[in-house]
């Protein structure tokens, strides 16, 4: 039963030590050490507030701030490596502080609980990570925009139901992802403001008897506001769930893109070539070049969805206020953050230098299918034939052409006119792939002029985003 170190962690009420297996089970130091820098910063602000309000003396405040700073240096240099005996990062820091400062160190926890402390740390952490992810989104968009600017006039088959539908400008296709990522960027920006609220000073659950100034510590930590209700402040994890929702949507977008790259890199599609720096080989099949990066991104999605699910389930039955269940939020948040960051970094490199569009093959691909069939119907409709009638007629043309092993462009003018007298020599121009794309010039469509405008707008918006402050 020997675990003497944790016998007196809490109070004199405890007489014997924790069972070692339970100590291990209870401890979070193995993962919440990730929060240490934020714990130190949060504690420094708390100490300053205690001095500011006269709850401790100015000298004591200074000593606490400096002692915490020393622990920061010790941690960064690898000298301070708390183990399981500390239970969690908060105890580890307080214990070290007391070693350094004696009785003054013991004053740090006045008017505070680990419950408001951990909430503060987690928010400070997530605030930083959200900023970093938003920057990564902008980096990814920058690469997509550059690729788009090089491929406005590169054609690519467009699909619905994974069946050839209508040809597209490749830039238009890439810009669709720029839009998705823009929503992700905005969403994180909105969530940021709900992460950025201070629970510090909510105490264990009910506030404190000391004349604290929550707004003062919140201001030092650059929180935008403070939780209005102490019970809510210590037990709210909406901000973490919202973050994981946003992270899940980012992963959805990255995964859809990954799926396309995997398809495009296959021999069947042959739309992209993967460069050596971003693909791997097989241990047995020498001819293979595998799209591991997009596969891993696609494969990691489940982790983030899982973390979201875990937090939702963790919260749904919790009575107010703090319950130890909440300790489970950390690994979900940390892994969610790391997964999104790693996937964004990898896919940005892949898009930047790891893949080459096979433009010739792409342009050729759209010339060998029936994805211009709608344009024949549109051609007739523009000449006054009711669209549904035109549609039915073209259906027949496709059927007979398929049987004859011909494409629409192979029909002679006589054949066209036999089908309908409205067909004239300009039908060939109307169904040429380049014209088919160029003609879809409706707002938000794939017409080259539209795409150029969309690209310019997206570039402008990107620059504004780069210059903006959260």
- Return the active site residues: 161, 282
Side-chain half-sphere exposure of 372, counting CA atoms within 13 A: 25
Q: Which is nearer to ligand ARG, 109 or 215 (CB)?
A: 109
> Least distance in Å: CB of 1 to ligand ARG?
22
Are 84 and 23 contacting, i.e. CB atoms less than 8 angstroms apart? yes
322 interacts with ligand ARG by CB under 6 A: yes
d(CA 273, CA 291): 10
Window of 212-220, 247-255, 274-282, 324-332 that interacts with ligand ARG by CB under 6 A: 324-332
The runs of H, that is alpha helices, within 83-113 are 89-101
Among the listed residues 46, 96, 114, 307, the single contact to ligand ARG using CB under 6 A: 114
By C-alpha distance, which of 95, 125, 85, 112 is closest to 330? 125
- Residue 303: Cβ-neighbour burial (10 angstroms; 0-12, 13-18, 19+): middle
**Cα 284 off chain centre by:** 35
Residues 402-421 that bind ligand ARG (CB under 6 A): none
Window of 150-158, 320-328, 351-359, 395-403 that interacts with ligand ARG by CB under 6 A: 320-328
236 interacts with ligand ARG by CB under 6 A: no
d(CA 414, CA 90): 85
d(CA 239, CA 135): 20
Please give the DSSP secondary-structure letter assigned to residue 468: -
Among the listed residues 88, 94, 116, 236, the single contact to ligand ARG using CB under 6 A: 88
Name 326's Cβ contacts closer than 8 Å, sequence gap at least 6: 118, 235, 237, 314, 318
> Least distance in Å: CB of 27 to ligand ARG?
8
Q: Which is nearer to ligand ARG, 90 or 123 (CB)?
A: 90
Window of 125-133, 144-152, 173-181, 319-327 that interacts with ligand ARG by CB under 6 A: 319-327
Residues 29-58 that bind ligand ARG (CB under 6 A): 32
d(CA 327, CA 115): 10
Helix (H, G, I), strand (E, B) or coil at 111: coil
324 interacts with ligand ARG by CB under 6 A: yes
Window of 112-120, 175-183, 274-282, 449-457 that interacts with ligand ARG by CB under 6 A: 112-120
239 interacts with ligand ARG by CB under 6 A: no
Are 317 and 292 contacting, i.e. CB atoms less than 8 angstroms apart? no
Window of 56-64, 111-119, 273-281, 286-294 that interacts with ligand ARG by CB under 6 A: 111-119
> Least distance in Å: CB of 371 to ligand ARG?
56
326 interacts with ligand ARG by CB under 6 A: yes
| DSSP labels, 299-320 | HHHHHHHHHHHHHHHHHHTPPS
Among the listed residues 6, 18, 28, 250, the single contact to ligand ARG using CB under 6 A: 28
The size of the interface with ligand ARG (CB under 6 A), counted in residues, is: 11
13 interacts with ligand ARG by CB under 6 A: no
Among the listed residues 115, 141, 166, 198, the single contact to ligand ARG using CB under 6 A: 115
235 interacts with ligand ARG by CB under 6 A: no
Are 176 and 444 contacting, i.e. CB atoms less than 8 angstroms apart? no
Largest alpha-carbon pair distance within the chain? 101
96 interacts with ligand ARG by CB under 6 A: no
Residues 116-155 that bind ligand ARG (CB under 6 A): 118
314 interacts with ligand ARG by CB under 6 A: no
d(CA 123, CA 88): 17
> Least distance in Å: CB of 333 to ligand ARG?
11
- Residue 64: Cβ-neighbour burial (10 angstroms; 0-12, 13-18, 19+): buried
**Cα 145 off chain centre by:** 18
Q: Which is nearer to ligand ARG, 28 or 371 (CB)?
A: 28
The runs of H, that is alpha helices, within 4-88 are 20-26, 29-32, 36-52, 58-76
Q: Which is nearer to ligand ARG, 323 or 417 (CB)?
A: 323
Q: Which is nearer to ligand ARG, 37 or 139 (CB)?
A: 37
d(CA 346, CA 291): 12
Q: Which is nearer to ligand ARG, 240 or 251 (CB)?
A: 240
Among the listed residues 150, 280, 327, 359, the single contact to ligand ARG using CB under 6 A: 327
The residues that touch ligand ARG, with contacts defined as CB under 6 A, are 28, 32, 88, 90, 114-115, 118, 322, 324, 326-327
């Amino acid at each position: 039963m020997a675990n003497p170190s944790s016998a007196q962690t809490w109070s004199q009420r405890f007489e014997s030590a924790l069972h070692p297996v339970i100590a291990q089970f209870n401890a979070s130091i193995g993962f919440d050490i990730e929060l240490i820098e934020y714990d130190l910063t949060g504690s420094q602000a708390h100490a300053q507030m205690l001095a500011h309000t006269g709850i401790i003396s100015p000298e004591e405040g200074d000593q606490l701030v400096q002692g915490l700073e020393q622990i920061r240096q010790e941690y960064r240099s690898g000298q301070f490596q708390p183990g399981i005996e500390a239970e969690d990062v908060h105890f580890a820091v307080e214990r070290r502080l007391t070693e350094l400062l004696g009785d003054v160190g013991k004053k740090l926890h006045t008017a505070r609980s680990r419950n408001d402390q951990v909430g503060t740390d987690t928010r400070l952490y997530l605030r930083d990570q959200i900023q970093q992810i938003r920057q990564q989104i902008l980096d990814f968009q920058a690469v997509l925009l550059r690729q788009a600017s090089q491929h406005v006039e590169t054609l690519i088959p467009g699909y619905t139901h994974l069946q050839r539908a209508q040809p597209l400008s490749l830039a238009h296709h890439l810009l669709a992802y720029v839009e998705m990522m823009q929503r992700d960027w905005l969403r994180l920006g909105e969530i940021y403001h709900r992460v950025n609220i201070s629970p510090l000073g909510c105490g264990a659950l009910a506030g404190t008897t000391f004349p604290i100034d929550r707004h003062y510590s919140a201001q030092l930590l650059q929180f935008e506001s403070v939780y209005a209700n102490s019970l809510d402040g210590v037990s709210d994890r909406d901000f973490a769930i919202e973050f994981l929702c946003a992270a899940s949507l980012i992963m959805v977008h990255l995964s859809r893109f990954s799926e396309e790259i995997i398809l495009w890199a296959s021999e069947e599609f042959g739309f992209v070539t993967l460069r050596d720096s971003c693909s791997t080989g097989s241990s047995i099949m020498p001819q293979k070049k595998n799209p591991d990066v997009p596969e891993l991104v696609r494969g990691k999605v489940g982790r983030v969805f899982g973390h979201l699910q875990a937090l939702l389930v963790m919260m749904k039955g919790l009575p107010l206020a703090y319950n130890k269940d909440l300790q489970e939020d950390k690994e979900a948040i940390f892994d969610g953050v790391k997964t999104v960051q790693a996937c964004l970094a990898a896919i940005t490199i892949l898009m930047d230098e790891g893949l080459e569009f096979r433009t010739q093959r792409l342009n050729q691909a759209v010339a060998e299918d029936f994805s211009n069939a709608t344009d024949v119907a549109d051609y007739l409709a523009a000449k006054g034939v009711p669209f549904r009638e035109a549609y039915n007629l073209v259906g027949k043309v496709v059927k007979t052409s398929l049987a004859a092993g011909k494409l629409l462009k192979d029909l002679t003018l006589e054949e066209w006119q036999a089908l309908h007298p409205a067909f004239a020599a300009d039908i060939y121009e109307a169904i040429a792939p380049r014209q088919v794309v160029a003609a879809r010039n409706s707002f938000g469509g794939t017409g080259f002029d539209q795409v150029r405008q969309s690209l310019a707008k997206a570039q402008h918006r990107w620059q504004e985003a780069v210059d903006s402050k959260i």
